[in-house]
């Protein structure tokens, strides 16, 4: 896929690469965007690239295909849901990631 812009922004790799949650977090204003509607977030940012690792870039839309929640009350809830989705989709590669998986019940 041809990306509308570099997922690392204007800094590129010189300023350090940004991965997964870090890229998603920069799209949100914690004080103004909550509650956050998942469908509206995807409508706005769905085609934006998210660097998963040094070789893999996927769209926000691809990540959100694995998000079960329709709305997020706050930033923590957003991060937890996106983290679960990324782990379930195989987009979470650091060692020990499974220790942070919580099931809803």
Question: What is the tens place of the pLDDT at every residue in 36-87?
Answer: 999 999 999 999 888 887 778 899 999 999 999 999 999 999 989 998 898 8
Q: Which of 28, 87, 92 is nearest to 102 (CA)?
A: 87
Pairing of strands 49-51, 36-37: unpaired
Handedness of CA 78, 37, 39, 28 (dihedral sign): negative
Using a pLDDT cut of 90, give the percent of the chain over it. Answer: 36
pTM above 0.75, yes or no: no
17 vs 82, which has greater pLDDT? Answer: 82
């Amino acid at each position: 896929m041809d990306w509308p812009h570099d997922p690392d922004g204007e800094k590129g790799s010189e300023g350090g690469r940004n991965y997964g949650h870090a890229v998603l977090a920069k799209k949100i204003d914690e004080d103004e965007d909550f509650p956050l509607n998942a469908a509206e977030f995807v409508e706005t940012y769905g085609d934006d690239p998210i660097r998963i690792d040094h070789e893999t870039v996927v769209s926000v839309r691809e990540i959100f295909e694995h998000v079960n929640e329709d709305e997020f009350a706050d930033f923590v809830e957003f991060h937890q849901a996106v983290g679960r989705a990324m782990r379930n989709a195989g987009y979470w590669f650091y060692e020990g990631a499974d220790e942070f998986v919580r099931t809803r019940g």
